[in-house]
Amino acid sequence: MAPNHSAAAAIAADIAPEGGRISQGLAQALAAMALPICLKDRHHRWQILNPAYADLLGYPLAELLGQEEAAIFPPAGADAFRQATLEVLSQ
């Protein structure tokens, strides 16, 4: 399935951590990148994703927005994912 870059850019421009906004240019750049990218809020919910990240997880981008790992991974996987996130943030 080919990524829908314009839809991803529109979603990213409308949804940002803690109700913030990102520029349309940044939204388009994130949507066009082949590297999987996500931004989460302080509650570990995905707030911005690009199509590559959604493809990596195997879910439509719109289904992942606002969710946390526990919504799509079994408990052990969700815990491992959260621990990895916390490790990255602590550095």
C-beta separation of 88 from 80 below 8 A: no
- pLDDT of res. 81: 87
Mean pLDDT to the nearest integer, 57-85: 92
State the pTM of this model: 0.70
pLDDT, tens only, 5-62:
454 544 444 445 445 567 788 888 888 999 999 988 888 899 888 999 999 999 999 9
| DSSP conformational letter for 59 | S
CA–CA separation, 26 and 44 (whole Å): 21
* In 1-91, beta strands by DSSP E: 38-40, 46-49
